[in-house]
């Protein structure tokens, strides 16, 4: 890369003279002549005429003739996701949040690397437990990336980053949180399932630039599967904020100059978010009141930034929105 091809030689010929790039570079005419004589139609025909015939190993695979994919309940790699279970043709409409517990209380710069299932599956994690219960040896755990087609594994790997810092644990580093009703320290997934089984909503408190870093779909899918209904942050990375809306999660921003600490929020409160029951009554960027069971009340900005995002939210997310409109 440091050679000036115009002025510097690229080598020395047998006659001892310098050889420049221009001496060996073929002309357009020479290239066209070679293509005409050597790149023949028969090459392409022989390659592509058998492309639909496969090969003996491929052809021996047993393929069911059903028009719908037959899910294998024993597979730990591909699992039927629950996104469309119990879905009706009528949109559910906007959902507020009532008496929600705080699943996680974060500071600034929580990235999609912190949120998303990524890397190796730790031996004592909820995902590892799930796999071992299904007869998968530890040596065959593989990575979250390889198992991204199994929502059960990925939901267990959400917020499983070993370097995550959760204020509910007073600065302790690791993928755990406090189950507020009992005070138990649990893996984030296990705490989330406790709340879901009890029919209790959860929210996340966060600082600035929540969801920064590369955009990843599981950073929004995972929290939704864990039952998170809203994220209240100082600010959001723009694509992650949009992805949250696409999974039916409410993104709220504290007002300028405010955050959880300045408002005296510890994350041990229960949160009620008052949203209108009709999507037509919600406008992009409108104020929303949040009230806690301790009597605190504060105003946030609803970060539905476009009318299209409000339509997604009305349907419970972008996937149900697309499916209903395809059917119609």
What does the pLDDT look like over 210-226, one tens digit per residue?
999 886 889 999 999 99
pLDDT tens digits, one per residue of 314-327: 999 999 999 999 98
Is the pLDDT at 194 greater than 80? The verdict is: yes
What are the Cα distances from residue 23, in Å, to 16, 26, 56, 237? 15, 8, 49, 53
How far apart are the C-alpha atoms of 287 and 9, rounded to whole Å? 69
Q: Which of 119-123, 187-191, 250-254, 301-305 has the lowest mean pLDDT?
A: 119-123
Element counts in the chain: helices (H) and strands (E) = 12, 11
How far apart are the C-alpha atoms of 180 and 192, rounded to whole Å? 11
Instruction: Output the CA torsion sign for 93, 96, 101, 103.
Output: positive
Q: Which DSSP helix (H) or strand (E) runs through 240?
A: helix 238-246
Mean pLDDT to the nearest integer, 34-48: 91
pLDDT at res. 149 = 94
Is the pLDDT at 85 greater than 90? The verdict is: no
SS3 content of the chain, % helix, strand, coil (to 5): 30, 20, 50
Residue spans of the domains in the chain: they are: 11-51, 97-116+158-327
Helix/strand/coil (H/E/C) assignment for every residue in 295-325: CCEEEEEECCCCHHHHHHHHCCCHHHHHHHH
Is the pLDDT at 63 greater than 90? The verdict is: no
Q: Which fold has domain 97-116+158-327?
A: Aconitase; domain 4 (3.20.19)
pLDDT at res. 171 = 81
**Which has more pLDDT, 277 or 297?**
297
Q: Rounded to two decimals, what is the model's pTM?
A: 0.81
Average pLDDT for the chain: 93
């Amino acid at each position: 890369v440091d050679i000036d091809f115009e002025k510097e030689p690229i080598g020395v010929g047998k006659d001892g003279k310098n050889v420049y790039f221009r001496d060996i570079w073929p002309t357009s005419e020479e290239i066209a002549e070679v293509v005409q004589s050597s790149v023949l139609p028969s090459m392409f025909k022989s390659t592509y005429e058998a492309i639909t015939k496969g090969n003996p190993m491929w052809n021996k695979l047993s393929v069911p003739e059903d028009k719908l994919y037959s899910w294998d309940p024993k597979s730990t790699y591909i699992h039927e996701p629950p996104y469309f279970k119990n879905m009706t043709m009528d949109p559910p409409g906007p959902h507020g949040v009532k008496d929600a517990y705080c699943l996680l209380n974060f500071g600034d710069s929580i990235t999609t690397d912190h949120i998303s299932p990524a890397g190796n599956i730790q031996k004592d994690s909820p995902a590892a437990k799930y796999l071992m219960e299904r007869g998968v040896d530890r040596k065959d755990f593989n990575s979250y990336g390889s198992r991204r087609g199994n929502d059960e594994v990925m939901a267990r790997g959400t917020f499983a980053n070993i370097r995550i810092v959760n204020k509910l644990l007073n600065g302790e580093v690791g993928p755990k949180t406090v189950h507020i009703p009992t005070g138990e320290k649990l893996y984030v997934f296990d705490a989330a399932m406790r709340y879901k089984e009890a029919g209790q909503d959860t929210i996340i408190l966060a600082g600035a630039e929540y969801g920064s870093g590369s955009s990843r779909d599981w950073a929004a899918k995972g929290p939704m599967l864990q039952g998170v209904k809203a994220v209240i942050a100082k600010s959001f990375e723009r694509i992650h904020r949009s992805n949250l809306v696409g999974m039916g999660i409410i993104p709220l921003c504290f007002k300028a100059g405010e955050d959880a600490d300045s408002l005296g929020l510890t994350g041990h409160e229960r949160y009620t978010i008052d949203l209108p029951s009709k999507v037509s009554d919600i406008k992009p960027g409108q104020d929303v009141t949040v009230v806690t069971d301790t009597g605190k009340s504060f105003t946030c900005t609803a970060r539905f930034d476009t009318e299209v995002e409000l339509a997604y939210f009305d349907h419970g997310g972008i996937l149900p929105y697309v499916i209903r409109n395809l059917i119609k």
